[in-house]
Amino acid sequence: MNCFSLSNSDFESSSYESLSSEANSETEFEDTITSTRLRVCKKILKSERDYANSLDILVRQFQNQLEKKNSNQNQIVRSQQIKAIFSNSKKLLSSSVELIHTMEYKLLVWNNDIEIGDSFISQKSNIKLYSQYFSQYENALYELAKCEKNKPFSEFYKSQERKFSTNLRDLLKTPILEAFIKKDLISELFQCTKSKHKDHKILSQYLNFLEELVGTIQNKKQQKLNQIENKQQSILENIQKRFVGKVV
């Protein structure tokens, strides 16, 4: 008699335990994916709240207050200059608040089948707002520098900076920095989203947009650095030419 032979009942029991173990492993894997996606979504929501808070200070404590002061007979600066400095900040804030409310609801009813990507893609205007803000950013800084020569304006914004322990230029840069932060967070969410999940394609589309936007920002920055370097080189060459033949 072979002591290693298995009866039918032993085989059935062994097969059941094996299948059960595989099922448990798959369930644990799904649970891990779900919890990871949830954790990343919470990070995105926290980041969005921080972003909205910064925009809120920019809009309510700087733009709105300046517009209020400017509505008097004695204008501090031209209304067109205010529009140039703050660009579409109000629309960006409104869009961010809308996204926060959408995400808060989805996280309350969270499960692995929840689609979070449509919260970003559905805000088509938000995608355009980022691009619009970036395209006008350099002009905003240019107008701010001009307005700083205006004493009433300078006194106003420096007073607001002290009151809220912030810096106007830093606040104006917030949407630019947010593009980089959001790209990294969406990339993290995309990586922990299975290819079969409905979110996968949507997140891929949104991530592509953010990568293009960040790439454009980086290229623009590099172009500006190159212009500065070329200008410095030109100045240096002109100085050298002036002294050619003058050395004894």
Query: Which pLDDT score, from 0 to 100, does residue 126 have?
Result: 72
pLDDT digits (tens, 9 = 90+) for 16-37: 555 444 444 444 445 455 689 9
Task: Show the tokens assigned to 39.
Answer: 């954790």
Q: What is the CATH number of domain 36-215?
A: 1.20.900.10
Query: What's this model's pTM, rounded to 2 decimal places?
Result: 0.78
State the residue for tokens 């290819």: 195
pLDDT digits (tens, 9 = 90+) for 38-84: 999 999 999 999 999 999 999 999 999 999 988 766 788 999 999 99
Give CB contacts under 8 A, 24+ apart, made by 124-131.
Answer: 125/91, 125/95, 126/92, 126/95, 126/96, 126/99, 127/209, 129/88, 129/91, 129/92, 129/95, 130/92, 130/175, 130/179, 130/213, 131/213
pLDDT digits (tens, 9 = 90+) for 191-235: 999 999 999 999 999 999 899 989 988 887 666 655 545 555 555
Q: Which has the closest alpha carbon to 174: 111, 123, 129?
A: 129
What string of DSSP letters covers 205-231?
Answer: HHHHHHHHHHHHHHHHHHHHHHHHHHH
